Amino acid sequence: MSIDLLCVAATSGLPLFTRRADLRFIKNDNGLSKKIPDRDMDGEDGSNELISINTITTLYGINLFSRMNECELQTTGNGRTRIHWKVFNENLIIIVIITDIDSIIDDREVNCLLNMTYNSLVMMCGSAHMTDTNLERLKRRIKISFPLIDYILNCFTSNGIDRLEMVSKCSNYAIACRTSYISSLPNSITQMASNNYCAIFVHGKLLSASKDWWSQLSIKCNDSLLIACLLKSTYMNDLIQSKEIAIYLPDTSPTKMSRLVFSPITKGVILCMVCNEHGPSLEYIDDQILVPLNDLKLQEDKFSKYIFELRETKHISNDTFVNILGKHNVPLIKTLLGFIIFNRYQQIYFVFNEQLIEDYSNEICTFCRLNRSNVSTITNAHLSLEQVNMYRAVGNRSIIYCLLFEPSQSLKQLHVNTMTLVEAFTKAKHFWPN
């Protein structure tokens, strides 16, 4: 399968940029075929030889004809190719071309891809610039968005956890890492820096965040997810010193520029702050925040001990997670192989045994797309998917549980085991941000 992503001016049809992602097959350790994205991106000038100017002009003309006749064409296709159009801000048209007879992406996912592509442009350039009628200036400005757009596009074309992140619009959350110190650390940093938005990422996963981050950038908002995507697309592997990026928060403040600061605490652990123009400087963050965190006097602290463990491994081990569950009186059924939990209210998810869960990503994506308003359950040979709506003081918190059990389980026993774990996790308040 391949996906071509095009952006053209709504008034003239002139192309602004094109991007592409392909899928290829590899053999994993078990000898199973698995699809992974194979990048085939364009160069500095934003052109892509695989999509001709005649094709772009034709696609624009079809959409323009429908709009002139007061009927906007959004999607069409044949047995092998699907085409989607969407107009943003009456100035840009983003087009998606999916080529594959057995595409794993449905129309709702394509619509999500279109929206996230536009939000990526807004994040890096600001919504005011999206109405710029000077196309050459706009083309130069939006180049800064390409790494983020490429990352999101390749997530949609993958067949694993990254695709689940896009479909669910939830950030990967290191739920098993929480201690009272880790939970309170971002709030302490915001007080030191006189800044409201602070988060800590561990190997791309959201470990902990300040109160305002949860309430304004995460809850029913995609800003936190886009920041995580920007981190992983740009600095995740090579950040050795603090970096500052000018961004606009698409859902929170699309017209007001903010300063996004990434600072490495240690290898794989990054402090992220969203600051206004009067916020702390990079020098202040390095000297007054990062130096104390890495001071030798803190080596006996719970946070420092955990940071030391993270230098050795990127994932929570089974034994570690079992111990954490035991501390919160959550039973771990022996037949449970892995699971993924989506907290749709706070826009986060946690996955246990990621390698196994990836094999069922298509079934999980399908269930997440259903977006049912009532309690629902789907069960097959050894995968149980459950959606639960929890009403608390903070509002309606929709939780989706996808539990993977050993194949020897009967459907009846599978349902019983699912209900046991769902009830336990629902009551375990310490797993979720306050």
> 10 Å Cβ neighbour count for 294?
13
pLDDT given at position 331: 61
Both 238 and 375 in a single domain?
A: no
Q: Which residues pair with 214 in a beta bridge?
A: none
Tokens 């996955």 label which residue?
351
Domain count within the chain: 3
Q: Which residues of the chain have pLDDT under 50?
A: 24-49, 296-297, 299-300, 310-315, 373-375, 391-396
Both 134 and 183 in a single domain?
A: no
pLDDT tens per residue, range 269-328: 889 999 988 888 888 888 888 877 766 445 445 555 555 554 444 445 555 566 656 655
Both 142 and 21 in a single domain?
A: yes
Both 85 and 28 in a single domain?
A: yes
Residue 328: inside a domain, yes or no? yes
Both 148 and 15 in a single domain?
A: yes
Residue-range definition of the domain harbouring residue 338: 318-431
pTM listed for this prediction: 0.85
CATH of the domain at 270: 3.30.450
pLDDT given at position 104: 67
Last residue within a domain, chosen from 256, 286, 310: 310
Residue 165: inside a domain, yes or no? no
pLDDT given at position 65: 87
Both 131 and 205 in a single domain?
A: no
Residue 393: inside a domain, yes or no? yes
Both 19 and 133 in a single domain?
A: yes
Average pLDDT, the chain: 78
Both 42 and 121 in a single domain?
A: yes
Confirm if 200 and 207 have CB atoms less than 8 A apart. Answer: yes
Last residue within a domain, chosen from 127, 159, 191: 159
Last residue within a domain, chosen from 286, 310, 334: 310
Both 242 and 179 in a single domain?
A: yes
Confirm if 226 and 115 have CB atoms less than 8 A apart. Answer: no
Both 64 and 147 in a single domain?
A: yes
pLDDT given at position 31: 37
pLDDT given at position 296: 46
Phi, psi at 45, each rounded to 5°: -80, 0
- How far apart (Å, rounded) are the C-alpha atoms in residues 385 and 357? 12
Q: Which residues contact 419 (CB under 8 A, 6 or more apart)?
A: none
Residue 65: inside a domain, yes or no? yes
Token readout for 230 is 């920007």
pLDDT given at position 203: 82
pLDDT tens per residue, range 20-31: 987 643 334 433
Residue 216: inside a domain, yes or no? yes
Residue 101: inside a domain, yes or no? yes
Residue 164: inside a domain, yes or no? no
Cα angle 198, 199, 201 (rounded to 5 degrees) comes to 155
Token readout for 385 is 């998917």
Confirm if 280 and 162 have CB atoms less than 8 A apart. Answer: no
Both 339 and 269 in a single domain?
A: no
Cα 174 to its chain centre, rounded Å, is 13
Rounded to whole angstroms, what are the CA distances from 209 to 12, 186, 254?
44, 5, 21
Both 150 and 282 in a single domain?
A: no
Token readout for 361 is 């990503």
Residue 265: inside a domain, yes or no? yes
pLDDT given at position 161: 82
